[in-house]
Amino acid sequence: MHVPAVAALYAGMLGALGLFLAARVIAGRVKHAVEIGDAGNEDMTLRIRAFGNFVEYVPLVLVLLALAEGAGVPRWAIHAAGVALVAGRVLHAWGLSRTRKFNALRFAGTNLTFAALLGGTAAAVWAALRNGAL
C-alpha cells in the first residue's frame, strides 16, 4: 500500500493554518476580554467562524485525499486538490476575518474548497472502484 505522503504535506500546511486561526481566536478573547462565546462582539464572531468553518471542511477533504492517494490516485491529482484546499481555506479565512458581508476573497475561498471537496470525493470513489470495491 502506498503511504499518502502528498496528503500528509497538505495536512501539515493546513495544520499550521488551523493553529494560526485558533491563535487568532485566543488573541481576540484576550483583546476583548471574552472568556466564552463571542459576547456579541463582531470581531470575535468573525474570528470564531473563520476557525469553525476551517474545521468543518478540512478534515473531510484531507481524509478523502489520503484515502485516494493511498489507493493509487496519481500524485498530480492529490496536489491539485491539496493546493485548491490550502488556497481556498486561506482566502476564505482572510475574507471572513474582514467582514461577515459577501466579499470576493470569501467567495473564491468557498469555490476552491468545494473544488477540493469534489475532487477528493471523485478521486476516492474512482480509486475504490479501480481497486475492486464492488
At 11-36, the pLDDT tens digits run 999 999 999 999 999 999 999 999 99
Task: Give the predicted TM-score (pTM) of the model.
Answer: 0.94
Residue-range domains of the chain with CATH:
5-130 (1.20.120.550)
- Cell (9 digits) for 54: 476551517
What digits encode the pLDDT tens for the residues 69-104? 999 999 999 999 999 999 999 999 999 998 889 899
